[in-house]
Amino acid sequence: MKKHASLYWICQIAGWLSYGLTIIFFSKMLEKQLSSIFYPRLVVTILLGILTTHLVRKSMNRFSLMPPMPLNHWWRFFLIILVAANCYSFLSSYIIEFFKLYDPGRKFPVEKRFLVSLVIDTPIILVWISIYILWHYIEFTNSEAINKVKLETLIKELELATIKSQINPHFIFNALNSIRALVEEDPQRARQAITELSNILRSSIQVDKVEVTSLSKELDIVKDYLALEYIRFADRLVVEYDIEERSLENQIPPMMLQTLVENAIKHGLGKQPGDCLIKIISKFENEKQILIVQNTGVLERKDKDGFGLKSTRERLNILYRGEAMFEIYQCLPTQVTAKLVIPIKH
């Protein structure tokens, strides 16, 4: 952060000094001798330019007017430019009037000087803003490219880890054993179970091809997974859904909800005796989607740092640039809650 601020001030001061030197150069080319007020007025121009554009930058940061800028923020951007241009011209006019930095033989009213300054000096402020926006657009583009590479790498790692450890040979082995037991007892349910297993494996293999998917599609995979687990645990597994209808089409990272449900099964049914309630909740709050997976069980410290939960945090950070949130905690003595908060992309 300090390095970024230092670079800004170096560019800011160097840019305005270069502008001042350019004015000196062309003035000397056009006039043989400069008037006594030339340099004081130039100093006023440079110092006001630095002050005004710095306040523009502070305002743009304050109102989040950096690329990519939402459409409903553009009016703020143009308002800042308008205010900055008027403030610059107003201060310039009255400073020149107060310190008498004008040719006595060509004295103009302050109002006229203000209008002249508004016409002549506003373009340089616009040039500064254009350069500043372009700089941040290039920086944003480069950052997005880097994040995309990181995301692709992470998703591929997740795919391999999901197949090899999360949806691991033990899960496949248990699922196949359950299906084998059904072949003679309930052939129709066995065929359905094979389809469910196939859907889960297909979604795991294809997870690197998309960045987001609808909650509706993700729930289909989760239901297939839970259906297979129900064959194993029978009456011990109880599943409840509390899903807002309008949240079904919202986009979420693929296999993220699946990872949380697997974690709930592993640390709920896998480690606790008796029945286990898995409750999946989806709702909208304050322009964000809330996804909650609750399970019967006790959260251990080591359970917070598994690959699935770690990858969940990393993917959220890359996809939503810090605007999403994930936490897992013991909400009741016998109930664990995993909570995702995801911004809604319009």
CB count, 10 Å around CB of 135? 13
Q: How far apart are CA 7 and CA 14, in angstroms?
A: 10
Is the bond into 109 cis (omega within 30 degrees of 0)? no
Averaged pLDDT in 10-residue chunks for the chain of 346 residues: 78 93 88 82 93 92 79 86 92 88 77 87 90 84 74 65 51 76 82 86 69 88 87 83 93 86 82 84 92 90 68 79 88 91 80
Nearest to 93 by CA among 75, 111, 78: 111
pLDDT of residue 134: 87
Superfamily covering domain 167-343:
Histidine kinase-like ATPase, C-terminal domain (3.30.565.10)
Residue reference for tokens 């402020």: 125
Angle among Cα 87, 93, 96 to the nearest 5 degrees reads 135
Nearest to 295 by CA among 321, 267, 253: 267
Identity at 138, one-letter amino acid code? I
Angle among Cα 285, 332, 258 to the nearest 5 degrees reads 60
CB count, 10 Å around CB of 125? 18
Q: How far apart are CA 283 and CA 246, in angstroms?
A: 8
pTM: 0.53
Nearest to 48 by CA among 40, 59, 58: 40
Alpha-carbon dihedral 262, 268, 274, 277, rounded to 10 degrees: -70
Nearest to 19 by CA among 9, 11, 7: 11
pLDDT of residue 106: 72
Q: How far apart are the first and last CA of the chain?
A: 31
- Give the start-to-end residue ranges of the domains of the chain: 2-146, 167-343
Name the 3-class secondary structure at 326: strand
